[in-house]
């Protein structure tokens, strides 16, 4: 039997009978994974060119049981996904602390169900402490990627808590976000957009 | 049968027949865990008092198999510890990016076997990019904790590669490091030492 599981980041993974991971044909997932890879490749470019040091944090796992099939080789045999305390990416750029969450959307809006409240509060904390923090949203069908600065994200989120819309539409990103350039050398050149917003 | 495993961070864990984690009486490990907890508690204090936002990164895990005992409940049934790409802790303080590795030593010296070369290079990258990076070492028997700034760590490491000593003795930390104050409110008040070194 095959099983498909949705992860908190909005991606999907398919597992076969032996529960080995498999590539999955749900386009949303594929695009989400491609998007993550594109950001990681961009970060590798930034690192190798001494532009920035920005890394994806490991997925937090709660380990319950560990086995030792061989000396010095620990095999984890029972573990669970944990809720991340913070965001996916952080690091340093132009001597500033930088922190963001990245999401890929197939639809023309970003639902607040896709992000934890404490992640929004974390981004808010970072901005309050003088760091750079934001959301990166890919609209996968449109092939457009935007940065939304944290104060705007928080404003829309607060609205949603007061009975307002539970998502942010594409049109809002188009009007208030900053478009990220895509190139073959730097797949998601988000630091160029960061320059425009935070270092103008 | 009980099994004891040494982890890359120098800590030890004991597992019983059912492979459940157990507290372990090796004082080195206990102290190492206490030390990590003390740093985490300090970070919680800094966060709650809006002084800094510094987090421990999750341990990187390579997931191989996942099971689904119930809907929406993924149980990882085969996974392995991965080598961390970077260091244990990073975040923001006084608008600066901050990054460090923390180790507890029972002996009066810190061996370079306790840290990966790429972690030293990572700390070096951060300093080169204008961030604050360092090593925190606890000498557990002495109950003394020091910060060693990255350039000094790198210098000693380069010496070791050229045939020099493969460890840094306590005396070096005492002379060239900065002592961290310990208090009941902030167990490891390392940011006070950071002020002395980087914001004087």
Cβ neighbours, 10 Å, residue A5: 17
Read off the pLDDT of residues A31-88 as tens digits, 9 standing for 90 and up: 578 899 999 999 999 999 999 999 999 999 999 999 988 777 899 999 999 999 999 9
Helices (H), chain B: 27-48, 117-128, 150-161, 170-176, 190-198
In contact, A194 and A147? CB cutoff 8 Å:
yes
d(CA A55, CA A39): 10
Read off the pLDDT of residues A112-144 as tens digits, 9 standing for 90 and up: 999 999 999 999 999 999 999 999 999 999 999
Determine the residue among A129, A191, A198 to mutate to test chain B binding: the one whose Cβ has the most chain B Cβ atoms within 10 Å. A129
Mean pLDDT score of chain A: 88
d(CA B135, CA B149): 7
pLDDT confidence of residue A1: 41
Q: Which residues of chain B have a CB within 8 Å of the CB of A61?
A: 58-59, 61, 63, 76, 79
In contact, B66 and B74? CB cutoff 8 Å:
yes
Contact A122 B53 (CB under 8 A): yes
pLDDT confidence of residue A13: 56
ipTM for the assembly: 0.83
H/E run at residue B156: helix B150-161
């Amino acid at each position: 039997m095959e099983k498909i599981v949705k992860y908190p980041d909005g991606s999907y993974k398919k597992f076969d009978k032996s529960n080995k991971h498999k590539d999955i044909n749900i386009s949303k997932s594929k695009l989400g994974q491609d998007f993550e890879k594109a950001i990681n490749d961009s970060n590798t470019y930034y690192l190798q060119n001494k532009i920035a040091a920005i890394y994806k944090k490991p997925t937090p796992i709660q380990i319950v049981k560990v086995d030792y099939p061989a000396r010095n080789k620990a095999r984890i045999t029972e573990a669970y996904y944990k809720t991340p305390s913070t965001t996916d990416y952080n690091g340093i750029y132009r001597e500033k602390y930088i922190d963001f969450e990245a999401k890929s959307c197939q639809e023309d809006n970003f639902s607040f169900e896709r992000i934890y409240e404490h992640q929004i509060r974390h981004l808010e904390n970072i901005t309050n402490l003088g760091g750079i923090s934001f959301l990166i949203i890919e609209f996968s069908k449109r092939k457009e990627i935007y940065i939304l600065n944290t104060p705007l994200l928080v404003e829309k989120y607060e609205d949603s808590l007061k009975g307002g819309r539970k998502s942010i539409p594409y049109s809002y990103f188009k009007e208030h976000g900053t478009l990220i350039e895509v190139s073959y050398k730097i797949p998601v050149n988000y630091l160029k957009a960061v320059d425009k917003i935070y270092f103008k």
